[in-house]
Chains A and B, each alone.
Chain A
Amino acid sequence: MSGTDMSVVTEVPDPVRMPPERPSWRTRLRGPAVFAAVAVLALVVAPLLLEPFRLGLLAKYLVYAIVALGIALAWGQGGMLVLGQGVFFGLGGYAMGMYLKLTEAQGGLPDFMVWSGVETLPALWTPFANPFFALAMVVVGPVALALVLGTLVFRQRVRGAYFAILTQALAAAFVILLIGQQGLTGGTNGLTNFFELFGQDLALDSTQRGLYLAVVVVLGLLYLGTRQLVNSRFGRLLVAVRDGEDRVRFLGYDPATVKTVTFAISAGMAGLAGAFFVPVVGIISPALLGVVPSLELVVAVAVGGRYALAGAVLGAVVMGYAKTIFSEQFAGGWLYLQGALFILVMTLAPKGLLGLLRRRKEVAR
């Protein structure tokens, strides 16, 4: 295992190319221009053109894009294949869900607890009545879990496939736990029947439009922040850890710290996404965050292009739409398509859609 990971560091040298010219203002402005165009599309055009139902779907895909961004950071840049992001997504989602349930219960018990015969509010729930605590836990919970797990695992140099398997096992265990603790979590049904968020009626189109806009803004900010991180020294260090963890030690850095921090950031993003998911979609349940949904997001990132942050966002939206369309038309077909698409992407276009787009451009030039 370990031997193979390192060997990628030194590839066969390409023939030395001409020194890179200074990028012209045109190329330097292309990134910001595309970003601005996408922002206008998302903030102005989409809310005008899309009917509320479709806008809600788009909001859902963009929520997933937040998770995908974190996966692209951890996996594409840091080489950590995270197969259990659903856990962090769930922690964020349940924190939000618990807060919403408690505000609606107005001091009483949430509906599902009454149905399953719980008589007093469990101690785990009580602090979530406080919006500040609940909102903090949306990020703090996932980050704390990722820090603990990352420290334990990365310090012992458990990595690569081992780490991937552990995250997957965590997702499997988490789902079983949620289902089993019926009275605490709502079991298989999860938490649902939300009516208002901060005094706003969730059923109103205007509330949903506001939520959509909030998701777009948060995603945009996170994208910019992650981009900044990737381009910083830390980002370079992260790539170095990905390509040669053991060599990095001899540069005086502890790769375990770099990986743990990155893992925690991606977990925090997943938690935040989970919190948005709850009011946008109206439910959080185990089926939304197990092994399969976690993997589906990794698939989306791979399809979009794992080495580019924009690819991850693109992948999440494209795969989200594809899933909706195909499951509407022919239910079973979606699984064939998803599986086939994935096999194709892995074998033919490991850099994903964005990689294909960029290559076409290079060929054209």
Chain B
Amino acid sequence: MSALLSVRGLSVVFDGFTAIDGVDLTVEQGELRFLIGPNGAGKTTLIDVITGLTRPAAGTVRFGEQDLVGRREHEIVRLGVGRTFQTSVVFGELTVAENLDLAASFRRPLWSLARRRRGISEAVAEALATTGLAELAERPARVLSHGQRQWLEIGMLLAQRPRLLLLDEPVAGMSLEERSRTGELLTEIARDHTVIVVEHDMDFLRRYASQVTVLHEGRVLTEGSVAEIRADPRVQEVYLGRARREAKDVVG
């Protein structure tokens, strides 16, 4: 199997501050990859670079045969890379079905959009079923709860039918029940999609992750299975050691 996403030597600098420093990342077709790391490790920045929101100072991002660096955000989406955001952004004035329909329609030529939407397309119906939002289809998205919004956002991502899905902290701020529902959703999606999930909830990671990449201070600290990662002393140092050191600083 060939790599679907291949990031090489990536560096990102914000006004002199190096957020990402020489990161390599390879994701195979069909993989479910978790990106973890403490705050400021560069997880979201990495996603931002892949999706065109941030320009790198150096390095390449290859998606299949295409180079992604320098392309505009919507062009990258059109190549088949979709993402969600930490704080879900759905269109409150539109209904759930309209939100999904917009996500599903971007491949249509612009002039054909001048027609009214009739009924619910296959992609939208699928997304409604997968996310369990079918009953809310005709409600404006602004009435959704936080969890439902995240699911709608994941549903919009599915309706886009992307080849690579990037989820940025999908369970942040969710209740326990919503978390496990999202975990099931993720497992289901990962069955036939390539997915990268940014998450720093360790419990969620233990339950749903297989392959994990650990970022720390803008570099790849290590990669491996969940078990390997958990056993790695460096990862423990990063997650626990810093807390210990900081505690000592305060006391000393």
Contacts and interface: CB of A to CB of B under 8 A. Distances in A.
Do chains A and B make direct contact within the complex (CB under 8 angstroms)? yes
B73 to A, nearest CB: 4
A259 B51 CA distance: 22
Contacts, number: 104
B89 A247 contact: yes
A257 B93 contact: no
A253 interface: yes
Given A237-B113, A254-B72, A13 B83 contact: no
A244 B93 CA distance: 11
A277 B21 CA distance: 63
A255 to B, nearest CB: 8
A232 B101 CA distance: 12
A233 B113 CA distance: 5
A232 B90 contact: no
Contacts of B82: 250
A10 B88 contact: yes
B120 interface: no
B115 interface: yes
Interface in A1-59: 6, 9-11, 13-17, 19-20
A249 B92 contact: no
Nearest to B84: A250
Interface size class of B (residues with CB under 8 A): 35 or more
B60 interface: no
B102 A237 contact: yes
A229 interface: yes
A236 B73 contact: no
Interface string A118-159: 000000000000000000000000000000000000000000
B230 interface: no
Interface stretch (B38-46, B136-144, B169-177): B136-144
Contacts of B186: none
Contacts of A231: 116
Interface of A: 6, 9-11, 13-17, 19-20, 228-229, 231-234, 236-237, 239-240, 243-244, 247-254, 257-258, 261
